[in-house]
């Protein structure tokens, strides 16, 4: 899946404009990258189109941050100027589209590093 298709799907599922969906997608990937080990971030980058891979690169650090789903939503809302409800729906949607866009193994590895509350948030999104 290329970056345009990814963003288009996020826009369709969230009801946001394409620009808002692009900003949301970048902010979500960059925020989630703070939770990943450098090795996991590298693995994810190899499966993403270049534009989305750059968002993960920008968020990758040597020190893994510990924060949950709610804090990721708050961070994404602050960066995108979306309401928290929109950011919450958006983060869940980006995770759901990632599940479709990357291999099952990589998605499972990603979710194992993000943690249980991210998995629960994704499952509640449908």
The mean pLDDT of 9-17, rounded to a whole number, is: 96
pTM for the full model? 0.94
Percent of the chain with pLDDT over 90: 90
Q: How confident is the model at residue 122 (pLDDT cuts 50, 70, 90)?
A: confident
- 121 Rama class: left (phi>0) / alpha (psi -120 to 50) / beta: alpha
* Cα–Cα distance, 94 to 21 (Å, whole number): 9
pLDDT 10s digits, 24-77: 999 999 999 999 999 999 999 999 999 999 999 999 988 899 999 999 999 999
Count the neighbouring beta carbons within 10 Å of the beta carbon of residue 16.
Answer: 22
Domain boundaries, the chain: 3-124
Q: Can you identify the CATH homologous superfamily of domain 3-124?
A: Uncharacterized conserved protein DUF2267 (1.10.490.110)
Residues 6+ apart with CB under 8 A from 53: 44, 45, 46
């Amino acid at each position: 899946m290329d970056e345009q298709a990814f963003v288009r799907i996020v826009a369709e599922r969230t009801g946001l404009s394409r620009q808002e969906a692009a900003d949301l997608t970048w902010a979500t990937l960059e925020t989630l990258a703070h939770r990943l080990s450098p090795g996991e971030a590298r693995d994810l980058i190899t499966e993403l189109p270049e534009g989305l891979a750059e968002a993960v690169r920008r968020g990758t650090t040597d020190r893994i941050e510990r924060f949950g789903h709610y804090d990721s939503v708050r961070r994404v809302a602050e960066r995108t100027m979306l309401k928290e409800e929109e950011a919450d729906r958006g983060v869940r949607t980006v995770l759901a589209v990632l599940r479709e866009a990357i291999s099952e193994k990589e998605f499972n590895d990603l979710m194992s590093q993000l943690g249980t509350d991210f998995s629960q948030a994704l499952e509640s999104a449908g």
